[in-house]
Structure 1
Amino acid sequence: MVLPMHIAVFTDYYLPTLGGVQTSIKAQKDTLEAAGHRVTVFCPLHEPSGDPTVVQLPTSKVIKPDNYPYTWPPKRAKWFAQNYMDSIEPVDVVHVHSEMAAAAAGVHVARSRGLPLVQTMHGRVDVYTQCVLPFPAATSVLLSWLYNRNNPVRPVTLRDAPYTRTALARRMWKLMVNQANYADHVIVPSHHFAHKLQYQGVNKPLTVLSNGLEPTLLSQLRAIKPREYAGGDTEFRIMWCGRVSQEKRPIDFLRAIRQLPENVVVNMYGSGPAMKSVRRYITRHRLSGRVTLHGPVPQQTVLTAMQEHHLFASTSYDFDNQPMVLLEAHAAGTPVLLCDPDLTEVVPTEGTVLTATPDSQSIAAAVRELMAHPARVREMSDYLLKSCDSTLQQPLTEQLLGVYESVLQPSA
């Protein structure tokens, strides 16, 4: 029996902005609260929160990377968080979900108050900086400087690897390793990212703990029927959803669509820095009759749309950790196309198609092969629907509570 806890969550990303980190934190918050625990989230917000359990950290009116709110200035955020902690019920555990200024405030609060610190490493900051932020080389220098200025940095010696070849990558990997090693316990949603972190020097206790979906979301999907494709010239619908930026490879996806027959239609959801390039490509190659851009939409819209497609395409490669959207596709019974073999641990192989290589030719070939065997669509969809309980957050929250107990009783 776990006694009720109060968990202070610090994150640089939270609702109402859209993204996998945001929805995974919300799912954890909801299931922890349903189990009788209290969760207070500290985060930057564009507007003050009407929810007393979501606290707005000082937020810049100017700095908005990728249009996300940004905690600023860091010293004021630390001061604010310290004072706010004095006004709420005592906190048992601090759980940090990011690496920037809000995270620094969380680390500061935990260390200054002698509270156990749990850190979730959600993704590759090196690739995000390279592909999403403006002037990435200069930005990485600035981020590294700000990080070192606001955190107790320790020396990190990185090992040679394909993903640490550039100066930018090394700066960001040192940041990630430092951030993880501040914690008493590290949580990573996937084995492949956990292996990279440990290989580069993360030496704290580490638990691989999948993200999960809120039970209320899954309950809405219980009545879904398996997808069916009639074959021949009937319409084959493909869905793409994510940040529209270089690391997600939307242009490679569109190149693949050009190679497919006219009865293949596509709906793309999301926005990002590559949106103009995507629109130009669609116009230049006359794909507007087959490809529809929907922009950013709420999670419920994504789940509804998934039920109307034969295939969900995930075209990122050597970047994603454990995309929440893949868990959503699993829960919705939508077969998944993957380009990155690392992501096969996220969705059962019985419900996925893995391309031979990540290029557009292989993407197109994999889609053609699936279309040539229409019965496979139903088989894959049926398997995913029957196994969708594995995407639930609730049993994962029990494991999360086990991590919290371990840092509260380190000698046990």
Structure 2
Amino acid sequence: MIRATGRPCRVAVVSDYSFDTLGGAETAMFEQARALAAELDVTVLAPRSSRMPELARTHQVRVVGVPSQGRLSVLGMPVLRNTRELRTRLRRLLVRRDVEVVHLHSEFGLAAAATAAAHDLGIPVVQTVHTFFWQTTWPVQQLLRWGAPGFHSLLTGLRPTRVRLDERPGNSAMRNMTLTQARTVERVVSPSAHQAAALRAAGLERVDVVPNTLSVAAAATEPLRGVDGPLRVVWVGRMVPEKRPLPLVRAALAAVERLGPGRLHLTLAGDGEQLAEARALVGDHPEVELVGRTSHARVLDLIAGAHLCALTSVGWDNQPMTVVEAVSNLRGVLYCDPRLTEGLRSAGILADGADEAALTRLLVELADDPARVVAASEGALTDRREFAPDVFRRRIGDVYTAAAASLR
């Protein structure tokens, strides 16, 4: 089914995650599907969601909503099992659409069923791993150690792997879910070099680094020439412990106390279990604004209207869409995890520590002298090329070609 050029041009993009979640993995898949559709024939298979018509209406993408058997309330993830009925339906769709490569963005039941259906038809499968750094702060490590393998096997029909991938047994069990599925495909894609190294260390041999992309036009078209008024910082993400929004809120409030009014303004956009606690911390302080859950379009507007984007996670993120969105909009990124590199070589401002004191110190320094903020914005002119849609299409096209060749 591969064209004479050896370059697949009909792709099925598959994910167990719903576009309604508005997480980084879902946004990355959405943007990649749109970028691919500029040159390839793209079919997206994912749980039914309210955003599917948007993808189909505004871009040349065929969308197929797959009914789920329920939803995990804690993770907000639809539950789909790899059943004979689902595999049969997927085989028929792949044949009808003349699909030449299947591109997964998840590791659960729908991904496993799509892999099996593709291999039955001799179609190569590529899997993008959005996080190999599963972790939880909940005191349920032993429960996850015993429950995660069985749960994943129930959804996928795959025999669990039990490689030690983290000192904490529950975290290791969750990361093994990704490893189990990734072992069944022709090529694995990591959006970052540091995650690719972790995947190779776990035993995966065919791992390619392809950073994420942003297919929509940037709202900000010029880098900053200066900072007028308060230094405006925006944070975007799920309000959960692994993203560390609360340390940033406390650091910003401490910085405001040192700087005085009108010098610093922090906006946080996102929903999650720590939003209520963040609201309690902020109280009636006008310098910190909590937007809550909002649309992707507004997120981009918030970033373009800020001077700097903040990313406070440590050891959790692979290649955050926040970085893609900020750098594409010619805004620098204040970040805490030194392992992150893509898009941050010139546009990044690395904190000298991840604790609240270090964040407070840096916010005060940047508000007092925003020269580094302006330099990071100018540096984004170079770094944003890493996330350009045409660069993404070329890189992922090479992966598709390699996958097809390895299967042959």
Instruction: Give TM-score scaled by structure 2 length.
Output: 0.87
Preserved contact between residue 11 and residue 43 of structure 2 (Cα < 8 Å): yes
SS in 2 for 1:202: coil
Cα 1:166–1:77 change in 2 (3 A) is farther
TM-fit CA distance, 1:139: 5.5
Separation in 2, partners of 1:384, 1:321: 19
2:39 corresponds to 1:41: no
Alignment partner for residue 232 of structure 2, among 224, 237, 241? Answer: 237
Corresponding residue number in structure 2 for 1:304: 301
Corresponding residue number in structure 1 for 2:213: 212
SS in 1 for 2:96: coil
Separation in 2, partners of 1:77, 1:357: 52
Gaps of 5+ in 1: none
AA aligned opposite 1:384: A
Separation in 2, partners of 1:89, 1:399: 23
Gaps of 5+ in 2: none
Separation in 1, partners of 2:150, 2:137: 20
Preserved contact between residue 239 and residue 312 of structure 1 (Cα < 8 Å): yes
TM-fit CA distance, 1:390: 3.0
1:184-207 Cα deviation digits (max 9, x unpaired): 11110111111112112223x110
Separation in 2, partners of 1:393, 1:240: 24
Give the 5 Å matches for 1:390-409: 390-409=386-405
Alignment partner for residue 23 of structure 1, among 9, 27, 30? Answer: 27
1:8-39 Cα deviation digits (max 9, x unpaired): 2210224343122223222322232221x211
Count how many residue pairs are aligned between Structure 1 and Structure 2.
392
Corresponding residue number in structure 2 for 1:265: 265
SS in 2 for 1:107: helix
TM-fit CA distance, 1:118: 0.8
2:203 corresponds to 1:201: yes
AA aligned opposite 1:75: T
Larger deviation, residues 47-56 vs 334-343: 47-56
AA aligned opposite 2:398: G
Q: Name segments (4+ residues, structure 1) moved above 6 Å.
A: none
Give the 5 Å matches for 1:337-348: 337-343=334-340, 345-348=341-344
Alignment partner for residue 323 of structure 2, among 313, 321, 326? Answer: 326
Separation in 2, partners of 1:383, 1:87: 46
AA aligned opposite 1:28: Q
Preserved contact between residue 248 and residue 315 of structure 1 (Cα < 8 Å): yes
Corresponding residue number in structure 2 for 1:186: 188
1:274-304 Cα deviation digits (max 9, x unpaired): 2222222223xx5x32211111222221221
Preserved contact between residue 20 and residue 49 of structure 2 (Cα < 8 Å): no
Instruction: Give TM-score scaled by structure 1 length.
Output: 0.86
Separation in 2, partners of 1:393, 1:244: 29
Separation in 1, partners of 2:372, 2:51: 48
Cα 1:110–1:237 change in 2 (3 A) is same
Preserved contact between residue 238 and residue 265 of structure 1 (Cα < 8 Å): yes
Cα 1:86–1:228 change in 2 (3 A) is closer
Corresponding residue number in structure 2 for 1:151: 157
Cα 1:398–1:347 change in 2 (3 A) is closer
Give the 5 Å matches for 1:1-400: 5-35=9-39, 37-46=40-49, 49-50=52-53, 51=56, 53-68=62-77, 70-75=78-83, 78-79=86-87, 81-82=89-90, 84-85=92-93, 88-124=96-132, 126-127=134-135, 130-131=136-137, 138=143, 141-149=146-154, 150-153=156-159, 155-158=161-164, 164-203=166-205, 205-214=206-215, 216-218=216-218, 220-222=219-221, 224-226=222-224, 228-230=226-228, 234-261=229-256, 262=261, 263-283=263-283, 288-343=285-340, 345-385=341-381, 387-400=383-396
TM-fit CA distance, 1:80: 6.0
SS in 2 for 1:402: helix
Preserved contact between residue 19 and residue 26 of structure 2 (Cα < 8 Å): yes
Preserved contact between residue 244 and residue 250 of structure 1 (Cα < 8 Å): yes
RMSD after superposition: 2.6
SS in 2 for 1:165: coil
